[in-house]
């Protein structure tokens, strides 16, 4: 580093130590070699803006709708808001209303619960404290402790359900999309009428959904 930058050895050493202290570099305790730190990874992940994610997601969503016959959607979280950034229509006869750009309640949707489930614990608690647990249907979770338990289960299984919680006639499922750091960069899901999405059908569609999410995650650099 000192040779490439034309710096004195002691200056280069102090610069490296500063980068380590800031989290941009990390040093192996065994080999003493340096590697990219977590903060630098986070900065790179931030460069994957919404437009890039949208460009990669569109063909995946189209494939998902083609294979399941249901509407598919991609959502991201901005602070405590859940926004649908892309959506493809169902191929079946019945089309559900919806549009890209719409915001959705975190506690009553599969995409919202999924994105909250993968937040850091402290951030999640702050977000939960700000939620209005409004009942959209008789099935909406309005108890904070019950919601916490469901979020923990979602974090464990990687699959979120909306069991007629936002719309009494609709069921949804969602799974995470990860970037190259392993961070949950978004939620991808499908939705359809309850009479078309039985438990058996949901189970079959979940495997397709996971495969499509994996495809998009790999495109974002995730290697598992």
From first to last of its 224 residues, what are the pLDDT tens digits of the chain?
Answer: 556 666 667 776 777 788 777 766 766 666 777 665 555 544 554 555 566 677 888 899 999 999 999 999 999 887 778 888 888 988 754 434 455 567 899 999 999 999 999 999 999 999 999 999 999 999 999 999 999 999 999 999 999 999 999 999 999 999 999 988 899 999 999 999 999 999 999 999 999 999 999 999 998 888 87
Strand segments (E) across the chain:
25-27, 34-36, 71-78, 81-88, 103-104, 160-163, 170-178, 184-193
- Give pLDDT, residue 2: 57
Q: How many CB atoms lie within 10 A of CB 26?
A: 16
**pLDDT (0 to 100) of residue 166:** 97
State residue 94's pLDDT score. Answer: 40
Quote the CA–CA distance of 78 and 186 in Å, as a whole number: 10
Q: What angle do CA 218, 161, 116 make, to 5 degrees?
A: 65
For residue 202, the tally of other CB atoms under 10 A from its CB is 18
SS3 assignment, position 71:
strand
CATH classification of 2-44 is 3.50.50.60, yes or no? no
pLDDT at 111: 97
- CATH number for 48-219: choose from 2.40.30.10, 3.30.450.40, 3.40.630.30, 3.40.50.11540: 3.30.450.40
């Amino acid at each position: 580093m000192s040779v490439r930058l034309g710096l004195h050895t002691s200056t280069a050493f102090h610069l490296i130590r500063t980068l380590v202290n800031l989290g941009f570099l990390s040093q192996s305790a065994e080999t003493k070699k340096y590697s990219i730190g977590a903060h630098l990874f986070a900065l790179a992940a931030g460069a994957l803006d919404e437009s890039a994610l949208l460009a990669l997601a569109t063909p995946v969503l189209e494939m998902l709708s083609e294979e399941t016959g249901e509407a598919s959607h991609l959502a991201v979280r901005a602070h405590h808001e859940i926004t649908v950034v892309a959506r493809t229509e169902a191929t079946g006869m019945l089309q559900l209303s919806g549009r890209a750009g719409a915001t959705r309640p975190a506690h009553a949707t599969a995409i919202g619960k999924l994105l909250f489930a993968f937040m850091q614990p402290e951030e999640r608690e702050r977000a939960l404290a700000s939620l209005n647990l409004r009942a959209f249907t008789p099935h909406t979770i309005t108890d904070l402790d019950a919601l916490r338990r469901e979020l923990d289960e979602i974090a464990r299984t990687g699959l979120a359900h909306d069991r007629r919680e936002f719309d009494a006639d609709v069921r949804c499922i969602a799974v995470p999309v990860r970037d190259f750091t392993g961070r949950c960069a978004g939620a991808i899901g499908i939705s359809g009428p309850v009479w078309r999405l039985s438990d058996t059908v949901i189970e079959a569609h979940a495997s397709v959904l996971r495969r499509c999410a994996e495809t998009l995650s790999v495109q974002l650099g995730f290697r598992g």
